A and B are shown apart, each in its own frame.
Chain A
């Protein structure tokens, strides 16, 4: 799976702006037991590069997209990352394997309980997960070096922007379930000014022939 992601990343370097996924991200993904984050019925596909259903109308993202999102967060060990939408817990696990301190909020009670238990068992020191409404972020643990918003939203909640450190980054996948269309990267500069740009996961340039 990791080899495949590495190859895919090289092919899309022009779009993502990254010639390769950081070795730290790939190493972390190689260590995470992805099969433990998917339902028993999906374990045969756990290491395939595709999204999988995890119940409650939610999915575990395609590993290539997880790798790209993690890489775009550009975090170092010891940094604090807020995750809105724990889901299966896989994204939090990858970050934890990178030595990041993860604070994760899940609004669906069943998912929060399941992922919280698993993450608590695997990464008791690195991941703090709770059930709740992620709209207001996690004021008590703020500010964060990075925020990843995996739950669909019509807008970026202003409290999350406030809880992002100057110089911090936020990554938001856009699209439907099973179909992540693009990643939005929000950056807050040292002066607190916020900018964003999109990162397409694939090279697909529709303008052709001299335009």
Chain B
């Protein structure tokens, strides 16, 4: 084969790297879920490339290497250009339900981002189409390159700004062009110079990030006196520490209306332009810190004396400071984002007044569930702070985000780590009509019942202000003294004690529109299931297999909510789920229109004795879908087990792609035994299904190396088998009907693109176990439909 495998690996590496970097970049300039939508659609460039080559691929015959290099070169050039142009598109995610033009802008943005992926796919599809017999080697190089791309993007994000990382990836594509070139004067080697120089020669100022003006940071920067103290890059987000001497931040979520003193000036911390989280001067004086006792989150400190506190998701440290302000004996602060923790420990530390140097405070950089798995417990108080901004929370932007901190299993862990009379405090932004607080209450009730508590409502309390609320879950029933203390606190600061110790409490500060008490009573009684089924939001508890706590969307409410648009009813619509569904539907529609139908026309009539296009379509569509379902389900399931969502995803993705790459190479020896790999996937996948819950239940506390080894032992054999069916099909197609090769590639690509959002949609509805099961059924069906793979070649048509 004339194109070096290294060139193929390079282009795959660059393409996957670009995919990850675009997600990161668009999370900074827009919002995460729309980044997901835009990049998902852009990946349809792979399918479009299949179409283009099915129609005009013959023109490349004899000049594959030149076309490969030209496409790689164009990928390298268009990757940064497409991002820069896509940023200029005036798409406003927040206006999408008001203004139909926003969908057009989004389509244009996706179309621009599609361009580099199209060129990357042309490179791969060219070599598959013209050298199908070498499919196992090509696919192997493709997968290994992609595996390297996943790791490379992560490493680059640690050390470089994301724009610079984008240029490195573009340079890699130029290197692929150089490696692929074959000509008398060998100009390809000349390309290596810009390939190496591009990432460093292009000034970063040429690729400025232009965040949405509706992001919190954009608005804070508009204020006179705003000054960036420090910016830090990292794979978990772009951190910006902002100071404003003229208009200082004063952040006190849910501060009582009866509060007399304002909080002291604070530093504002933004992650990907969202926030702010406040860093408060600890040495500002006790009077200035009085506000920490005048928020709903201060309630547990009215019930506990010098507690040992665990803060899960410490962020900028306000809850840590609040604990110290209330004489906590010891505070363990757990923060997942290492870059954020480092920022708090050095740059922000002088401003925070040595918060993290206090002998009573210990900062742990860890994922909360993973941290808990290795801890003995005995805390009097476990705190889950407010997360996200009020605005992002109100817009329902987290609907499709997994959250392993608010599942049944998580609740069980929190309770297990409490002392016999300890309590969990979950702080939330207030949403009305209520949804998240009811889901939390339902979760707590179910977990307590499962632990043999006959009257769980006696161990739950809810206090709310006008903007925030705190739900307390105690390991033992609240005492009369505690209820009296809660009532006094509510009265003193004009809060509402909506529920305490199994009964509604006379709450006179707010209107009773929220009807928390009514809902709590129903959730704690025999009508719970009926109540949850009838409720207009999805308030069924989340669990580790279906970790979508923030998903409240119900189809049955959609028509009613849309009819309320003119009356300001759109905030009732949780946007995450519809956006995800729109992603999948658009991918489906575009796949059908742009790829499948034109290819059908171009592929010509079926030659006598050749392979039926229906069989080929079904086979490659099932492989594309099933591969993505398994990959995403395993990444999600194992993220919790490995203890860090980002690194775990990178590790699992690398294992999958490497394992599949090895499988692809080995598949060259299996040409007359196509059933084996498919049967292997179904059998090993079934074994994984049985073992994953056991691992999650018993292995969370194992040392990391042991957990990684366990994951590798599960994933690698599965991926090894998953790497075989595609090259087997391509090779057989090359022998029997090579004109269908680009079409088959396009079908596989389109269904892979659709597979990613489909995996999440299915997981939200049915859980990840069933997503794995669905994928295994698809592989089984592919095995049944793979008769054409077994037939002996009847000559090349």
Partner-B contacts on A (CB < 8 A):
4, 8, 11-12, 15, 49-51, 53, 55-57, 62, 64-65, 107-110, 133, 135, 152, 154-159, 161, 174-182, 184, 186, 194-198, 200-209, 211
Contacts A8-B567, A207-B515 known; A154 to B534 CB distance under 8 Å? Answer: no
Q: A201, B255: Cβ atoms under 8 Å?
A: no
Identify A194's interface contact among B394, B494, B508, B567, CB under 8 A.
Answer: B494
Q: Tell me the bound Cα distance from A184 to B257 in angstroms.
A: 12
Q: Closest 6 CB pairs between A and B? A: A57-B213, A155-B255, A201-B568, A197-B511, A206-B536, A176-B395
> Smallest Cβ distance from B249 to chain A, in angstroms?
9
Q: A207, B518: Cβ atoms under 8 Å?
A: yes
Q: B258, A53: Cβ atoms under 8 Å?
A: no
Q: Tell me the bound Cα distance from A177 to B261 in angstroms.
A: 29
Q: B247, A176: Cβ atoms under 8 Å?
A: no
Q: A158, B536: Cβ atoms under 8 Å?
A: no
Contacts A158-B262, A194-B257, A207-B515 known; A202 to B568 CB distance under 8 Å? Answer: yes
Q: A158, B260: Cβ atoms under 8 Å?
A: yes
B233-273: contact bitstring with A at CB < 8 Å (1 yes, 0 no)? 00000000000001100111111011111100000000000
Q: Tell me the bound Cα distance from A174 to B431 in angstroms.
A: 10
- The chain B residue with its CB closest to the CB of A192 is B258
Q: Of residues B213, B259, B260, B568, which shows the largest number of chain A Cβ atoms within 10 Å of its Cβ? A: B568
A and B contact pairs by CB, cutoff 8 A, 6 listed: A64-B568, A65-B568, A161-B257, A174-B390, A176-B395, A196-B257
Identify B569's interface contact among A4, A50, A159, A202, CB under 8 A.
Answer: A202
Q: Tell me the bound Cα distance from A200 to B568 in angstroms.
A: 9
> Smallest Cβ distance from B120 to chain A, in angstroms?
35
> Smallest Cβ distance from B520 to chain A, in angstroms?
11
Identify B254's interface contact among A155, A201, A205, CB under 8 A.
Answer: A155
Contacts A155-B255, A158-B260 known; A179 to B395 CB distance under 8 Å? Answer: yes
Identify A204's interface contact among B431, B433, B466, CB under 8 A.
Answer: B433
Interface members, chain B 527-543 (any A CB < 8 Å) = 527, 530-531, 534-537
- Report chain A residues within 8 Å CB of B222: 56-57, 108-110
Q: Tell me the bound Cα distance from A55 to B243 in angstroms.
A: 23
Identify B262's interface contact among A15, A65, A157, A198, CB under 8 A.
Answer: A157
B88-101: contact bitstring with A at CB < 8 Å (1 yes, 0 no)? 00001011011000
> Smallest Cβ distance from A203 to chain B, in angstroms?
8
- Report chain B residues within 8 Å CB of A11: 567
Chain B contact residues: helix, strand, loop or mixed? loop
Q: Tell me the bound Cα distance from A19 to B253 in angstroms.
A: 33
> Smallest Cβ distance from A66 to chain B, in angstroms?
11
- Report chain A residues within 8 Å CB of B566: 4, 8, 49-50, 64
Q: B466, A198: Cβ atoms under 8 Å?
A: yes
- Report chain B residues within 8 Å CB of A156: 255, 257, 466
User: Is B197 in the interface zone, CB < 8 Å from A?
Assistant: no
Q: B535, A204: Cβ atoms under 8 Å?
A: no
> Smallest Cβ distance from B515 to chain A, in angstroms?
6
Identify B223's interface contact among A108, A174, A202, A207, CB under 8 A.
Answer: A108
Interface members, chain B 520-564 (any A CB < 8 Å) = 522, 527, 530-531, 534-537, 560-561, 564
User: Is B391 in the interface zone, CB < 8 Å from A?
Assistant: yes
Q: B511, A198: Cβ atoms under 8 Å?
A: yes
Q: B261, A158: Cβ atoms under 8 Å?
A: yes
User: Is B774 in the interface zone, CB < 8 Å from A?
Assistant: no
- Report chain B residues within 8 Å CB of A51: 98
Interface members, chain B 673-708 (any A CB < 8 Å) = none
Q: A178, B98: Cβ atoms under 8 Å?
A: yes
- Report chain A residues within 8 Å CB of B466: 156, 184, 186, 196, 198
- Report chain B residues within 8 Å CB of A56: 213, 219, 222
Q: A202, B518: Cβ atoms under 8 Å?
A: no
- Report chain B residues within 8 Å CB of A179: 94, 394-395, 570-571
Q: A135, B250: Cβ atoms under 8 Å?
A: yes
Q: Tell me the bound Cα distance from A152 to B518 in angstroms.
A: 31
Contacts A176-B571, A211-B522, A211-B527 known; A204 to B214 CB distance under 8 Å? Answer: no
> Smallest Cβ distance from B109 to chain A, in angstroms?
17
Identify A196's interface contact among B94, B391, B510, B536, CB under 8 A.
Answer: B510
User: Is B432 in the interface zone, CB < 8 Å from A?
Assistant: yes
- Report chain B residues within 8 Å CB of A202: 564, 567-569, 572
User: Is B509 in the interface zone, CB < 8 Å from A?
Assistant: yes
> Smallest Cβ distance from B205 to chain A, in angstroms?
23
B65-102: contact bitstring with A at CB < 8 Å (1 yes, 0 no)? 00000000000000000000000000010110110000
Q: B262, A135: Cβ atoms under 8 Å?
A: yes
Identify B212's interface contact among A55, A57, A174, CB under 8 A.
Answer: A57
Contacts A198-B510, A209-B534 known; A159 to B262 CB distance under 8 Å? Answer: yes
Q: Tell me the bound Cα distance from A107 to B522 in angstroms.
A: 46
User: Is B370 in the interface zone, CB < 8 Å from A?
Assistant: no
Q: B218, A57: Cβ atoms under 8 Å?
A: yes
User: Is B479 in the interface zone, CB < 8 Å from A?
Assistant: no
Q: Tell me the bound Cα distance from A199 to B491 in angstroms.
A: 22
Q: A198, B432: Cβ atoms under 8 Å?
A: yes
- The chain B residue with its CB closest to the CB of A209 is B534
Q: Of residues B254, B258, B566, which shows the largest number of chain A Cβ atoms within 10 Å of its Cβ? A: B566
Q: Tell me the bound Cα distance from A4 to B567 in angstroms.
A: 10
User: Is B579 in the interface zone, CB < 8 Å from A?
Assistant: no
> Smallest Cβ distance from A191 to chain B, in angstroms?
13
Q: Of residues B258, B531, B535, B570, which shows the largest number of chain A Cβ atoms within 10 Å of its Cβ? A: B570
Q: Tell me the bound Cα distance from A208 to B509 in angstroms.
A: 25
User: Is B303 in the interface zone, CB < 8 Å from A?
Assistant: no
Interface members, chain B 292-335 (any A CB < 8 Å) = none
> Smallest Cβ distance from B551 to chain A, in angstroms?
15
